[in-house]
């Protein structure tokens, strides 16, 4: 598969065929993904391949709890877990928690997370992250630049092999529980759960904003950047 095609067709896949992914295929995916860039080439990621059914069910329950919080925000008309959320926003989301549980679907991705063909828990070594925004008086995000390119490379490597998947961060809502289930030490954080498998259907045309909608020249409110062709 051409790189451009992979970039334009690698969407989030949450529904999979009941078909296993061989360990040698998963190994090859991780073997390609390990060349992702990271700060200082420190490669701060750690991957836990979760196969044990009991641990999978425990992670599903922790994930589903966070998912209900996510949907509660949506039902309240809010961006889930926005860094700019006010106390009123948080209260409005909390008030929708019961409604969020009520609309849960038994066959939904969160409810069946334990059944995905491949479950990867990606951790990040705090000692190896260059969080350049650590001391700013705002939400911190820069450290993720050393972790999430690796997760995205996993999805691209999977796509090249006819597989699909999704990178999700919902489980971080219950990080302490995830630590307990998987024996993760305190100097490691839970960055993502990545699910992989043979997609039930393959999206080949993704909807995204045009370049002109998010690019400007020289200043934030400068002229829109457009193609000369």
What is the pLDDT, as a whole number, of residue 5? 86
CATH pick for 3-51+118-214 out of 3.40.109.10, 3.40.50.720, 3.40.190.10, 3.40.50.410: 3.40.109.10
Number of Cβ within 10 Å of residue 187's Cβ equals 11
Instruction: Answer yes or no: are the C-beta atoms of 78 and 92 closer than 8 Å.
Output: yes
What would the DSSP string read from start to end of 90-117? HHHHHHTHHHHHHT--TTSTGGGGGGSS
Query: In angstroms, rounded to a whole number, what is the distance separating the alpha carbons of residues 161 and 227?
Result: 33
What is the pLDDT, as a whole number, of residue 199? 96
What is the pLDDT, as a whole number, of residue 95? 98
Residues of the chain where predicted confidence (pLDDT) is lower than 70: 229
Mean pLDDT of the chain: 95
What is this structure's pTM?
0.94
What is the pLDDT, as a whole number, of residue 228? 81
Domain locations along the chain: 3-51+118-214
What is the pLDDT, as a whole number, of residue 205? 79
The tokens of 192 are what? Answer: 């993502």
What is the pLDDT, as a whole number, of residue 79? 97
The tokens of 9 are what? Answer: 């067709």
What is the pLDDT, as a whole number, of residue 181? 98
H helices of 85-214, in order, are: 87-95, 97-102, 148-159, 175-182, 211-214
Number of Cβ within 10 Å of residue 47's Cβ equals 17
What is the pLDDT, as a whole number, of residue 1? 81
Report the Cα–Cα distance between both ends of the chain, in Å, rounded.
26
Query: In angstroms, rounded to a whole number, what is the distance separating the alpha carbons of residues 116 and 165?
Result: 10
Instruction: Answer yes or no: are the C-beta atoms of 183 and 169 closer than 8 Å.
Output: no
Contacts for 149 with CB less than 8 Å, ≥ 6 apart: 36, 37, 38
Q: Comparing C-alpha atoms, which of 67, 180, 65, 167 is closest to residue 121? A: 167
Express each pLDDT in 151-203 by its tens digit.
999 999 999 999 999 999 999 999 999 999 999 999 999 999 999 999 998 77
């Amino acid at each position: 598969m051409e790189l451009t095609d992979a970039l334009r067709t690698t969407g989030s896949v949450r529904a999979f065929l009941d078909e296993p992914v061989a360990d040698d295929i998963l190994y090859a995916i991780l073997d390609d993904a390990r060349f992702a860039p990271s700060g200082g080439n420190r490669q701060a990621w750690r991957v836990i391949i979760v196969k044990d059914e009991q641990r999978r069910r425990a992670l599903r329950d922790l994930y589903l709890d966070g998912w209900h919080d996510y949907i509660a925000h949506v039902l309240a008309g809010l961006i889930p877990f926005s860094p700019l959320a006010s106390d009123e926003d948080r209260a409005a989301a909390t008030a929708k928690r019961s409604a969020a549980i009520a609309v849960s679907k038994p066959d939904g991705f969160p409810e069946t997370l334990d059944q995905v063909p491949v479950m990867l828990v990606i951790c990040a070594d705090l000692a190896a992250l260059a969080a350049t925004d650590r001391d700013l008086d705002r939400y911190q995000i820069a450290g993720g630049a050393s972790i999430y390119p690796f997760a995205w490379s996993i999805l691209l490597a999977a796509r090249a092999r006819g597989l699909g998947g999704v990178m999700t961060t919902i489980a971080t809502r219950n990080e302490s529980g995830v630590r307990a289930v998987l024996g993760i030490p305190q100097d490691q954080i839970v960055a993502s759960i990545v699910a992989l498998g043979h997609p039930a259907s393959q999206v080949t045309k993704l909807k995204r904003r045009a370049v002109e909608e998010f690019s400007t020249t020289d200043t934030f409110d400068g002229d829109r950047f457009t193609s000369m062709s």
